[in-house]
Chains A and B, each alone.
Chain A
Amino acid sequence: MTPPEVMLAVKVLFGAPVAAILFGFFVMRRVKPEWTHLPILASCAAVTAAAACLAAYTTAKHCLELPVWTWAVAGDWGVAFGLRIDGPSSAILAMVAFVGSLIHVYAAAYMKGDKGFARFFLVFHLFFLAMIGLLTANDYLQLYLFWELVGVSSYLLIGFWYHKESARKAALKAFMTNRIGDLGFLIAVLMMIYAYRSTRLQTVYEFMAAKPSIYTSIIALGLVWAAFAKSAQWPLYYWLPDAMEGPTPTSALMHAATMVTAGVFLLIRSWPIISAVDGLPQLIAWTGALTSLGAAIIAGTKKDIKRILAYSTVSHLGLMMLAVGLGELGTAAYHLIVHGFFKAALFLCAGNIAHAFHQSTANVDETGGLRREMPFTYGCFLAAALSLAGAPLFAGFFSKDAILDAAWHHGGGLRVIGMLIAFGSAFYIFRMLFLVFHGDRKEQSRGGRHPHEAGPEFVLPIFALSFGAVVLGHGSIREWVSNLMTYGMRGVPMVLIRLKPYFDLPGEPALPALNWTVSAFGTVLALLGAGAAYYLTMVDSGWDWRWRGGFAEAVFESDFGYKIIVGWGARAVSWTARFTGRVLDKNWWDGLLESSSDVLREAGNALASSAQGRVNDYLWWMLAGSAVLLGRVLR
């Protein structure tokens, strides 16, 4: 890669999506809306090629920091935007571009004939563009810009079928929750400007290395809070399961590539800040671990197939957070990449099922034994599920076991929780697999529908994704990610000796070698989970319907009661707003001001004897009053 080629790749990375969106919006949407996806698919191809080039460039141990334009200046304050292509950004960008493009291809088939086809593709691509911008930003304010753009695009996509009340509610919930998280980001960025007069990543890192201060804690906490919202961690995870109200390609893109990964990426980017605050990494690790375990349990109780996958995403994001909190950034990024592949494949399989049923999602009550009608979908689902559960030699095995290994070495409660998660993941995904694709239960009824395998335009992207979910565990790929992360976080070529202590991360090289003890334990627990799922769905096949109803379901449906608390919070805010707006402001304060004219009139009547309504009198009174005031002022 020569420098001009790199520059070309960078230009294509942004130029292609922007051009495709503008062309689609102004030309295709009017002229031929059903072809809006063509320029966008071309842009996907170009972006993927560019991302591959940049990944190759960084693999050859180059980094790029490119100023682009000065956004705002005032006094000694200024923000300049630019690009930072280094290890973490190029590694994750390569995954996002590839997986995202495949989902675009799938979406073209899935959304065909929808009334809002053009609108869908434009927003879909905007979502993609926002993520590219987020990954390559070299400045926290710029990152925030794309971060919010990701939020808005997801809002528009979740609410895409806005005629459904559930979609409207889910969209609002997602946006508001992310907005609450963004509060942390906003405060962090404001604090950076106050403390360091800069929001450029490199400058902030240098300040961190030089002297962490009280502001560091606020900045780090704010960023972690924002990441918890975006990456759906407790206490702000609750928007993600509802967010599957959007069309299935949206869910796939959101869960695999473009949205929820942003939070993990932010923490990887901000590691020099976070690691400088005592106790914060532990907080992240524990939050991630507990969220992961809780979500894995809930995922095992859901009936809606997309909802199971959504809780599974929360669980896996929790694992990534656990890795980040333990300082295993490379492991977190590696699991993020592998997760992108298998989760996208799983969601698109769910999309195939929903499509076969002609509805937006499907329920386990309506499925069962689908492997006969949809053998290809079944095969892809099985491969991705094995990867998710961490079956040996599948990609998920390597990425998850690296995290379990980190938890194992950390010891204590995290060691136990890690193993429980391994069990839970295998349980929920195999429960879903058996309920959907196997068996013939009396509780399940298709309601007269005859599902059939989807066409090649549906299955080819899924095949590519599940292929990735199988082979990404290959040694060379692990080594590649490992090298990129270690080296990228070192910030070469901006070698900063002072930064050394902060970049000498624990667990170097970024991916640990396979630990056979942990792998054995993990595999056994996964087998146990899958076995339990088999027993409860195939042997004792009515179990899933028997335990429903009553207290247990209420506990799981409300996420152990947390959803109720969130509901109280939302109601408290809207009550405060209604009280402020209608009672305090309108009735009391404005009422008081308006009634003052009545009071004056009453007083006027009382004083009528002294005032006969002659203008002359009033003018004298006014003059006298003004004179008194003036005299008081001038005295």
Chain B
Amino acid sequence: MPLTALWTVPLLGALVCAFLGSKARYGALAFSSAFLALAGGISYLQGSPSALAVLTETGPQWAYGVCYRLSADSLSLGLIGLTAFLNLICVAASWDLKVSAGYWACFLALASALTGVFLARDLFFFYAFWEATLIPMFFIIGLWGSSGRLHAAVKFFLFTFAGSVFMLLALLALVSAHHRVTGVWTWDLGSLDPKTLGAAAPYVFWGLVLGFAVKIPMVPLHTWLPDAHTEAPAAGSVMLAGVMLKMGVYGLLRVAIPLFPDLSVEMYPILGGLAALSTVYGALCAMAQTDLKRLIAYSSIAHLGFCLLGVLSRTSQGLSGGTLQLVNHGLTTGALFLMVGFLYERSHKRGLSDFGDLASRAPYLAFFFGFATLASIGLPGLNGFVGEFMSLSGAMSAPFPIFAFVGCLGVTLAAAYALPAFQVVFWSPAGPDSVSAKVSDLDFRERAILWILCGLMLWIGLAPKPWLAWFEPALRGLVR
């Protein structure tokens, strides 16, 4: 029951908000808070992570073995917590926007679908929730985005949908092969036996990986991301970067690696190589951008490359670090996207050269942006470093330590895109076409949001141990 409530509460919120009209934001706030409280409460009641009893809910069997089956281990609960937290942050950050009730409904619906993805243990439901996340995000980008929103929304939808088709085919193959050999229809992640696939196993593995890799996104399947991020409203970018990209890594951790433990090791030279490439490629692309949001979007590709490198290395520190990096990236990139959103709300610009001298005009904004930038480039003592370092350490212990060296290069390059951008926006004198005069400093609400985010960045950076310990039980079985 509590697990069903986890994904139905925000869904109920979405329905309620849709009918609230101009008062919808109060509904959104109430339901988002309730969702976070519920997620926190369940996590708390599960007790200490080492003794984490895995909550499970199973419904009746349907046709073709489809069965409503939810389960929440520490990995699921951690990501649901992140979803609920960022959802509430998004609601708070969008508080003063002049938007229709649908906006708030879409965010709650998105949170609901994401929670479903993290909870489902039946692959049919997993796929259904997976695709369900596309719909609210499609509307968030397409309806409340900036000028190029339609193109971006369609591109986002087509790319990720195309990836999902391969995933669906892989899942269908898996389920029907299982039925053919054992005579049992089941979609249960725990009881499906990939050995029944025989020689087709690599195809199914790559089908799954393709579906997840588009979502992450792994270079070279990433080109939807900069467009989608750039055109989405700020809060949409936060959810997109903060949680939706994490679905891909979660899919690897939950489905692809447990089902194909040996294949994922065999394919590490290719996948790990692409992950390492992502870190450098994303950084190089980010260096060339002139639009703040595109820059942060490309930096996401680099950061997710670290996650992927750690997770795929299948070492204890790599898995822990890569998973923690999911949370870190949500906080850091989320904060950066929010601040670009605040800038955009005030000036309707987001080009690097549209601003200048903001450190004098908006010192709070400069402080928080600088803080989040430092976290993003992996300054030790802040959260980004923990994830990157542990992921790289994992890659170092895996075969092909060269990937770790390439990743180190990505760490170095991170400063080369983030700091010049920071300097142009905040330090350089305002040019003649600058809109800096329109940028007022952050108000109390905005500052409060950023204090919370930056406080968490510092906390994770200085004392990552409890955070790592939280995820550890769920990852223990995945170590090669």
Distance (whole angstroms) from the CB of B13 to the closest CB of chain A: 35
18 more A-B contacts (CB under 8 A) besides A194-B397, A590-B223? A72-B386, A75-B316, A75-B320, A76-B316, A77-B393, A149-B381, A155-B419, A190-B396, A191-B396, A194-B393, A194-B401, A577-B284, A577-B285, A577-B416, A589-B220, A633-B169, A633-B200, A633-B204
A72-B386, A175-B419, A589-B220 given; A626·B169 CB < 8 A: yes
Cβ 8 A contact of A179, one of B158, B286, B357, B412 = B412
Closest to A573 in B: B416
Docked pose: A144 CA to B155 CA in angstroms = 43
Pick 5 A–B contacts, CB within 8 A, sort by A: A72-B465, A74-B317, A573-B416, A577-B288, A634-B180
- Give per-residue flags for B444-479: 1 if the beta carbon is below 8 A from chain A beta carbons, else 0: 000000000000000000111100110010000001
Q: Which of A72, A175, A193, A594 has the most CB of B within 10 A?
A: A72
- Give per-residue flags for A136-147: 1 if the beta carbon is below 8 A from chain B beta carbons, else 0: 000001001100
Q: B423 at the A/B interface (Cβ < 8 Å)?
A: yes
Cβ 8 A contact of B380, one of A144, A172, A187 = A144
Chain B residues contacting A165 (CB-CB under 8 Å) are 428
A152-B374, A626-B169, A630-B172 given; A168·B465 CB < 8 A: no
Chain A residues contacting B315 (CB-CB under 8 Å) are 75
Chain B residues contacting A213 (CB-CB under 8 Å) are none
A77 and B223: CB pair below 8 A?
Answer: no
A74-B390, A193-B396, A630-B169 given; A580·B408 CB < 8 A: no
- Give per-residue flags for A571-611: 1 if the beta carbon is below 8 A from chain B beta carbons, else 0: 00110111111100100011001100100000000000000
Docked pose: A578 CA to B284 CA in angstroms = 8
Docked pose: A574 CA to B397 CA in angstroms = 32
- Give per-residue flags for A442-474: 1 if the beta carbon is below 8 A from chain B beta carbons, else 0: 000000000000000000000000000000000
B423 and A581: CB pair below 8 A?
Answer: no
B359 and A74: CB pair below 8 A?
Answer: no
Interface size on A, residues (CB 8 A): 58
Q: Which of A73, A74, A176 has the most CB of B within 10 A?
A: A74
Q: B352 at the A/B interface (Cβ < 8 Å)?
A: no
Residues 72 to 109 of chain A near chain B (Cβ within 8 Å):
72-77
Docked pose: A630 CA to B321 CA in angstroms = 37
Chain A residues contacting B429 (CB-CB under 8 Å) are 163
Residues 319 to 347 of chain B near chain A (Cβ within 8 Å):
319-321
Chain B residues contacting A187 (CB-CB under 8 Å) are 405, 408
Q: Which of B176, B207, B288, B415 has the most CB of A within 10 A?
A: B288
Q: Which of A73, A159, A581 has the most CB of B within 10 A?
A: A581
Chain B residues contacting A75 (CB-CB under 8 Å) are 315-317, 320, 479
Chain B residues contacting A517 (CB-CB under 8 Å) are none
Docked pose: A574 CA to B283 CA in angstroms = 11
A74-B468, A182-B412, A634-B173 given; A162·B396 CB < 8 A: no
Instruction: Enumerate chain A interface residues (CB-CB to B < 8 A).
Output: 69-77, 141, 144-145, 148-149, 152, 155, 159, 162-163, 165, 168, 171-172, 175-176, 179-180, 182-183, 186-187, 189-191, 193-194, 573-574, 576-582, 585, 589-590, 593-594, 597, 626, 629-630, 632-635
Chain B residues contacting A163 (CB-CB under 8 Å) are 357, 427, 429
Q: Which of B411, B420, B465, B469 has the most CB of A within 10 A?
A: B465
Docked pose: A589 CA to B409 CA in angstroms = 23
Distance (whole angstroms) from the CB of A222 to the closest CB of chain B: 10
Cβ 8 A contact of A162, one of B287, B359, B389, B408 = B359
Distance (whole angstroms) from the CB of B327 to the closest CB of chain A: 14
Q: B88 at the A/B interface (Cβ < 8 Å)?
A: no
B396 and A635: CB pair below 8 A?
Answer: no
Q: B404 at the A/B interface (Cβ < 8 Å)?
A: yes
- Give per-residue flags for B373-399: 1 if the beta carbon is below 8 A from chain A beta carbons, else 0: 010000111000010011011001100
A168 and B423: CB pair below 8 A?
Answer: yes
Distance (whole angstroms) from the CB of B429 to the closest CB of chain A: 6
Chain B residues contacting A577 (CB-CB under 8 Å) are 284-285, 287-288, 416-417
A152-B379, A180-B412, A634-B177 given; A190·B404 CB < 8 A: yes
Chain B residues contacting A573 (CB-CB under 8 Å) are 416
Docked pose: A368 CA to B417 CA in angstroms = 44
Docked pose: A574 CA to B286 CA in angstroms = 11
A70 and B465: CB pair below 8 A?
Answer: yes
Chain B residues contacting A635 (CB-CB under 8 Å) are 200
Instruction: Rank and list the top 10 A-B pairs by shortest CB-CB distance, nearest first.
Output: A75-B316, A581-B288, A577-B287, A162-B427, A145-B380, A74-B320, A581-B285, A74-B317, A590-B223, A580-B284
Distance (whole angstroms) from the CB of A78 to the closest CB of chain B: 9
B404 and A172: CB pair below 8 A?
Answer: no
Q: B368 at the A/B interface (Cβ < 8 Å)?
A: no
| A interface, over-half SS | helix
B408 and A186: CB pair below 8 A?
Answer: yes
Residues 190 to 249 of chain B near chain A (Cβ within 8 Å):
200, 203-204, 207, 220, 223
A580 and B288: CB pair below 8 A?
Answer: yes
Distance (whole angstroms) from the CB of B293 to the closest CB of chain A: 14
A176 and B408: CB pair below 8 A?
Answer: no
Closest to B173 in A: A633
Q: B298 at the A/B interface (Cβ < 8 Å)?
A: yes
Closest to A75 in B: B316
Chain B residues contacting A72 (CB-CB under 8 Å) are 386, 390, 464-465, 468
Q: B289 at the A/B interface (Cβ < 8 Å)?
A: yes
| B interface, over-half SS | helix
B396 and A194: CB pair below 8 A?
Answer: yes
A148-B380, A634-B176 given; A581·B284 CB < 8 A: yes
Distance (whole angstroms) from the CB of B60 to the closest CB of chain A: 28
Distance (whole angstroms) from the CB of A599 to the closest CB of chain B: 14
Q: Which of A175, A180, A194, A626 has the most CB of B within 10 A?
A: A194
Cβ 8 A contact of B427, one of A70, A77, A159 = A159
Chain B residues contacting A144 (CB-CB under 8 Å) are 380
Closest to B416 in A: A176
Distance (whole angstroms) from the CB of B281 to the closest CB of chain A: 7
A187-B405, A577-B288, A634-B176 given; A74·B415 CB < 8 A: no
Chain B residues contacting A148 (CB-CB under 8 Å) are 379-381
Chain A residues contacting B374 (CB-CB under 8 Å) are 152
Distance (whole angstroms) from the CB of B130 to the closest CB of chain A: 18
Docked pose: A168 CA to B409 CA in angstroms = 24
Q: Which of A149, A576, A580, A629 has the most CB of B within 10 A?
A: A580
Docked pose: A190 CA to B220 CA in angstroms = 28
Chain A residues contacting B169 (CB-CB under 8 Å) are 626, 629-630, 633
A159 and B423: CB pair below 8 A?
Answer: yes
A77 and B316: CB pair below 8 A?
Answer: yes
Chain B residues contacting A186 (CB-CB under 8 Å) are 389, 392, 408, 411
Docked pose: A573 CA to B288 CA in angstroms = 11
Chain A residues contacting B396 (CB-CB under 8 Å) are 190-191, 193-194
Docked pose: A441 CA to B248 CA in angstroms = 73
Distance (whole angstroms) from the CB of B167 to the closest CB of chain A: 13
B416 and A582: CB pair below 8 A?
Answer: no
Chain A residues contacting B401 (CB-CB under 8 Å) are 194
Distance (whole angstroms) from the CB of B454 to the closest CB of chain A: 13
Chain A residues contacting B393 (CB-CB under 8 Å) are 77, 190, 193-194
Docked pose: A189 CA to B389 CA in angstroms = 10
A585 and B416: CB pair below 8 A?
Answer: no
A172 and B285: CB pair below 8 A?
Answer: no
Chain A residues contacting B392 (CB-CB under 8 Å) are 186, 190
B381 and A145: CB pair below 8 A?
Answer: yes
Docked pose: A302 CA to B177 CA in angstroms = 78
Chain A residues contacting B465 (CB-CB under 8 Å) are 70-73
Chain A residues contacting B404 (CB-CB under 8 Å) are 190
A576 and B284: CB pair below 8 A?
Answer: yes
Chain A residues contacting B463 (CB-CB under 8 Å) are 69, 71
Closest to B357 in A: A163
Docked pose: A114 CA to B82 CA in angstroms = 43
A580 and B479: CB pair below 8 A?
Answer: no
A630 and B173: CB pair below 8 A?
Answer: yes
A574 and B287: CB pair below 8 A?
Answer: yes
